[in-house]
Structure formats: structure tokens, C-alpha cells
A and B are shown apart, each in its own frame.
Chain A
Amino acid sequence: MEFSYEVKDSYAEVKADGRLNMVSAPKLREFVTDVIAGGSNRIVVNLENTAFMDSSGLGALIGCLKAARQAGGDLRIAAVQPQVKMVLQLTSMDKVLTAYPSVEEAFSND
């Protein structure tokens, strides 16, 4: 699992490449918390190269969403792979998070 981020005009893009499972989930939370602490409270998590996600990974995303909201911003996800989409549906998390087709579209409406 590899995390990286890049600050764009109106948001910060966080890339999570690899398998987002119970081992890497706490690391994602830590990573995003640091990005928010660095001053970006609008986060897009790019899941283009996240081949696999389990419930712990989703749990970490919710933790990150909470942190971003508390900082007055928001967290969105983009470019999900089929397996991730399935997990989102299985846990009904798609009722909470919209999966945007691309990173650019995530904050395009505001």
C-alpha cells in the first residue's frame, strides 16, 4: 500500500495505491489526518489504483470523512474499481458516499 498526495486548486488529491485492508486502513487514516492538519480540508481520495478494499478500509474512509468535516471541509472518493464498488453496495455505504467517476469531477459542483 502506498499513499501520496498532491494539492490542486481547490482540493488535495490523496492516492491510495494497492490493497486497502485491515493492515493499511489505520495508515490511511493517519495519512489523511496529516494532510488535513497541513491545511487542506477538501480531500479527494483517488481509488483508481486501489484494487481491493475491505470493511476496515471503508471504516478508515469514514474516519477520514469525519476529520475533514470537523475541519470544515469534505472528503470525496473517485475512480472506484469494481471490487470496491461491490463492497460499497454490500455495506450500503453507497448511501453515504458518492463515488465520482474522476478526481476532477469530485468537487466540480461547488
Chain B
Amino acid sequence: MTRFWTRLVVVLTVITGVNYIAWRWMASLNWEAWWIALPLVIAETYSLIDVMLFGMTVWNLKIRKGAPEPPADATVDVFITTYNEDLDMVLTTALAAQRIRHPHSTWILDDGARPEMKALAEQHGLGYVTRSEDWTKDLPRHAKAGNLNNALMQTDGEFLLILDADQIPEPDILEKTLGYFNNRKVALVQTPQYFSNVPADDPLGSQAPLFYGPIQQGKDGWNAAFFCGSNAILRREALMQLGLVGYVKETEKSIRRALAASRQAIRQARKSTDMDSPLVAQVLDEVEAATVEAQQELDSGMALSEITYRVRRRVDTAVQTLVQADVEALQSDLEEIAAMELAHVGEAGVPVVADDAVQRMSARDWSPLGALESVQAVLDALSVERNDEAQPIMPLATISVTEDMATAMRMHAMGWQSVYHHEILAYGLAPEDLKTMLTQRLRWAQGTIQVLLRENPLVQKGLKVGQRLMYFATMWTYLSGFAAVIYFAAPIIYLLLGILPVTSLSWDFFIRFIPFMVVNQLLFAVAGRGIPTWRGQQYSLALFPTWIKACTTAARNVWFGRPLGFAVTPKARQSGGPSWSLIQPQIVVSILLAVAAVVGIVRLATGLAEPLGTLVNVAWVIFDLVVMSILVRAVLYKGFEPPAESAEPTQSERNPDGV
């Protein structure tokens, strides 16, 4: 029944929305003020697409009725990822994980490699994993994705339950979820992230009931439920397969790149001054011939390990010839010297160059080719060892700081299925201050935009159209910062300057706009089935500086290789008083809005402005200020104080669908 009503409202939203936006584009634009008219209609179009994608998401809402019995012999590793979190917190989570009923091994993945953590793990019989010796200093560590990839190589469970250090699991978390894997195509089961240290009014917007609810259930309906980094169970085989496919792709790419660069490198080397020696020139000829041959072999489909091995052999032989000649010259010099000064040599006789000298001096680190750095770089890249990474196989995606989304998308593209199980089975800790919360939101947004720019879901092979749009929908929402700025600017411009972005605020406008707005709100009410969505709506507008910063930093990172300024979200509350400076842009905008409203009313009183336009825009300002007001509460929020009664969700909250 819910499904019918949801779909009906979706259809109505699309009809009224398209009706309104089409009219806005075709008949309402005030071209004299195009500099605000055009941005506003684009922002409104953005919002229509956003709500249509939401409509598409909930169109296929999937309400699951629980998993079948899991096979008793399924082996599971429980991973608790930590970097610098409080030891007590990690231990509490780990001990709760140890008490999970289905047989399993519990591991603390300590990226901080803290001896105290290790001691605690040993004392309680918990597994303890740190980075292997392969992760040398000069190689990228890939944060949490690297931590998990490292642990995957040191464990052997068929399934992996991944928990952040603060996510305390229920003992039945595996019994409730493992059964989904009876379907051999299922690679991921995600459960909600719920926070136990959040008051009912949720001033920081920590709970995401719309996401861990209709949105994930909707994505599930399109076989596109997301992996969200914690409280999820993964199939090792699927992850390893991703790692292998990624390895082959990266290796081939790097070999092709090296071959393409080799011509230039060899030409450069020839020009350099040491080229007088005919022997070095000869070696370069040999290197060139080897790379040309490698290119032909690559084009003919020969295996990469073979191609690289042959290049190496050929170049090694050439280098040995070169060194051999040098050594022979040296030896004959020695003999000449000995012959001239025979009387002084005494018993020792003629000095002899050691037998293994040629071999030793031809080796990679002493090779004369080492002097020709660009050539050496090409030869180093012609390898299958993936020397630029600690492990050749990287199962979790490392293209983004939110490895979870990228990993799930690649799984879906390979044909694996995912499940969203709508039941709270772990309790975490949300940030308790604005600064930490902003850091976390920024990181999520940056990661999402990174994935969009590096592996745009709309063009990924292997994804179904619905899956593409489900990934794209989430990315699209993170562009809201730009629209928000325009939504704040438009009423300010009208109230201060009297410039209206539409030709007139007439019956034509209201008859199209109001039905769309009403149906739009109705959609959230119906799809949300009574869950509070207002907090989320407030933050999606009010955090506009964060969203914009995420887009610009992620774009600079992907396109120009600049660092993101990435920080691990601190789990403990940051000290210090209220930090108004964090919301400076929002304060400035709010003051502008308030001033504009006052000026607008004065202009109305003095006959400079129209009543209807002023009324609509003042109402708009009031709406914007109510949206922003949440930030005042966020700044003043002093952290969570447990209420007298337990903060645990009620049974209906924990398990709203009666799974």
C-alpha cells in the first residue's frame, strides 16, 4: 500500500515539477536581470533533478523480511579499525565483538601500532593486526582502506564484518545478516549506522534516518545499496576479485604508459654528455629494441609477466656486456701496470678483478644505466610487481577518502549484489561538537566528489542504468552548496535593489509553484513514513560552505594532484568554548538576509517596492533564517548528557519494519 502511495506522489512530483520548471525556462525569465535570473532558474532545475532522483530512489523501496538461516560453518573475521581512538573505546567495541554469537575471530586493526593496544588485545585474547613490513615509509598508506587491505592479507575468514572503533555490535549481528550470503551473488550486507550519544532533537544532525531508511531501501530495490564503511558484512571472494581485476588494470596501464614514455626517455639519454662511449650507445640501442618488441608483444596479447620478464632479461644481458668490457679493460690495465713495475709487486703477483664483479656491478642498484635516470624509470615501470604500492592486490578501492562508496560501485559493476538490512545492529558515537562534525561532513563530501570525478557512475561499464543513477543521485546532492548560495542571494537582491528574477509574481507563478512545493513536501512525508527529515533539510542548505569547499578541494585533488587536507575524524569532543568562527560565512549571509528584510519593508512603506514581491521575499528570508538557526544550536551544543532513561532506541525504532 505504502508503495502505491509513494509512487503516486512521485508521479505527481515529476508532473508538477516539470510543469513549473518548464514554465520558468520558457516564459518567466527576466532577461534584463539575467545575472540573477539565469543562476536562479539553474538552481531550481538542480533542485528538481535532485527531487526526481529521490523519487526514483523510493520508487523501488525494498522492505526485506529478514535473512534465511546462515550456514553454520561460515567463517567470519570481525575487523575493528582504529587509528588514534581512545583505547577504552576500542576495547569496549572489541569485547562486544568478541561476544557476537556466530563463530568468528575478532581482530583489532591498529593503524597507530600502539604497544598498549597490543597488550590489551593479547590480554583479552583478541587478534591484533598492524601494517606488514611491505608498507615502507615511501609508499602510500591509503588510510582506512590501506588498513583493511593489509588485514585482508593476514586473515582468512570467508566473510568480514567491518566495524569502526566506536560501533558496538549486538551479539546477533551475524545471525541476522549472514543468511543473505546464501545467495552466491551477494557480496555486501549493510546495516544502519545509529548513534547512541545523540539527544532527541539531534542538534548536529548526526542521525541520518532518511539515508538509513527510505534512501538505502530504495537503492536496495535497484540492487545498489551502498557500503558505508562500518556495520557491514562483506564477502572476501568479491573483495579479492576486485583486487585482482584492479591489479591487472593498473599493471597494464602502467606498462602502456612506460612504453609510451620510453621513446622520449631514450632520445633524451642519447643527447646527454656521457654518450661518447660507443658501448653505452649500444646498450641504449638494445633498450630501445627491447621496448619496441615489448610494444609489439603487448599489442599481440602476450601475457604481461612474460613481456616484462623478456625486457628485463634483454636489458640485463646488454648491461652485463657493457660491464664485462669495462672490467676487462680494467684487468688489462692492471696487468700493464704490473708488467711495468714487476719488481715491486712481490709475492702477491698480478692483482685480479674478482670473478663475481661483473654480476655484482650489473645488478640493478650499481648498473651503469642508473646514471640514465629517465631510462631507468621506464625500465622500472615495465614490471608486474606494482612497486608503487605496498601490496600488488588492493581489494578496497583507494581512489577516494571514502573507500566504501568506490568499492561498492566496483562490486556492482562486476555483477555482485548488495543488501540493505534495515535493523540497528550496532551503536556508535557521533561527533559531539560542531568542529568535529564539520570535519566529518567535509570528508564524506570530498570522498563522494572524488569518486564522481575519478569514476563517474554514469559511464561505468557493467552498471545497470538504475545503479548508475543511484550512485549519481548521492553525488548530485553534494552539489547543493552552489544552489544554496543562489537561494540566499535572490531574496537579498530583490529586497535591497528591487530586482526580480522573474518577469512578474503573478497568478501564473503561484499556480505552478505552490502545487510543486506542496507535493514535494508530501513526497518526503510519505516516503519517510513519519521519520524526521527537517534536520537533514536544514543542514543540506546551512552547510553550504562545507559542500562548496568539498567540491573545490576534491576537484583540485583529482585534476591537479593537490592534497585534500585530509584529517581523521576525532571521536572525542574537541575542547574549548563556542566556536562562532566555524560558521562565519553563514553568519554573514544571515545578517545580510535580516538587513535585506528590514530594507525591503522600509522600501515597501515608502512606496519603492510592491507588496506582493516584498511579502514573498520576506517570507523566503524568514525560511532561510529558520534553516540557518540550527547552526546557533549547533555552536552552543555542549555535548551529550545521557537522559535519566536509556537512550537506546525503542523496539519499533530499532526495527521499524518488523524484520
Binding site for B on A (CB under 8 A): 22-23, 25-26, 54-56, 58-59, 62-63, 65-66, 69-70, 72, 74-76, 90-98, 110
Contact = CB atoms under 8 A, between A and B. Distances in A.
A69 B383 contact: yes
Contact of A58 (B156, B236, B244, B251): B244
A23 B303 contact: no
Given A26-B156, A95-B252, A96-B248, A59 B384 contact: no
B612 to A, nearest CB: 64
Contacts of B252: 95
B156 A25 contact: yes
A56 B251 contact: no
Contacts of A65: 305, 384-385
A54 B239 CA distance: 11
B305 A74 contact: yes
* A-B CB proximity, top 5 nearest: A55-B240, A91-B244, A98-B303, A55-B241, A66-B385
Interface of B: 153-154, 156-158, 236-237, 239-241, 243-245, 247-249, 251-252, 302-306, 309-310, 313, 363, 383-386, 391-393
A90 B385 contact: no
Given A54-B237, A56-B237, A69-B383, A62 B303 contact: no
A94 B306 CA distance: 11
A62 B245 contact: no
A95 B248 CA distance: 7
Contacts of A91: 241, 244-245, 248
A54 to B, nearest CB: 6
11 contacts: A22-B237, A59-B240, A59-B243, A59-B244, A62-B393, A63-B393, A74-B309, A95-B252, A96-B384, A98-B302, A98-B305
Nearest to B239: A55
Contact of B247 (A62, A74, A76): A62
Nearest to A58: B244
Contact of B158 (A22, A75, A97): A22
A96 B251 contact: yes
A86 to B, nearest CB: 13
A75 B305 CA distance: 9
Nearest to A88: B244
Contact of B244 (A72, A74, A93): A93
B55 to A, nearest CB: 37
B563 to A, nearest CB: 29
Given A55-B243, A66-B392, A74-B305, A23 B156 contact: yes
A63 B243 CA distance: 12
Given A23-B156, A55-B244, A110 B393 contact: no
A59 B304 contact: no
Nearest to A23: B156
B248 A92 contact: yes
Q: Considering residues A62, A69, A93, which has the most beta carbons from chain B within 10 angstroms of its beta carbon?
A: A62
A57 B17 CA distance: 53
Nearest to A69: B385
Contacts of A93: 244, 248
B240 A56 contact: yes
Given A65-B384, A92-B248, A110-B313, A97 B237 contact: no
A22 B303 contact: no
A54 B245 CA distance: 13
A47 B391 CA distance: 24
B156 A90 contact: no
Nearest to B241: A55
A55 B247 contact: no
Given A54-B240, A56-B236, A69-B383, A94 B393 contact: no
A60 B303 CA distance: 18
A25 B383 CA distance: 23
A55 to B, nearest CB: 3
A38 B243 CA distance: 29
B434 to A, nearest CB: 43
A95 B303 contact: yes
A96 B386 CA distance: 12
Contacts of A66: 384-386, 392
A65 B386 CA distance: 11
A58 B154 CA distance: 15
A95 to B, nearest CB: 5
A95 B244 CA distance: 11
Given A59-B393, A70-B385, A91-B241, 19 more contacts: A22-B156, A22-B237, A22-B240, A26-B153, A55-B236, A58-B244, A62-B247, A63-B392, A65-B385, A66-B384, A66-B386, A66-B392, A75-B305, A92-B248, A95-B248, A96-B248, A96-B305, A97-B305, A98-B303
A58 B236 CA distance: 13
B411 to A, nearest CB: 12
Contacts of B363: 72
A97 to B, nearest CB: 6
Contacts of B248: 91-93, 95-96
A92 B243 CA distance: 11
A35 to B, nearest CB: 18
A97 B236 CA distance: 22
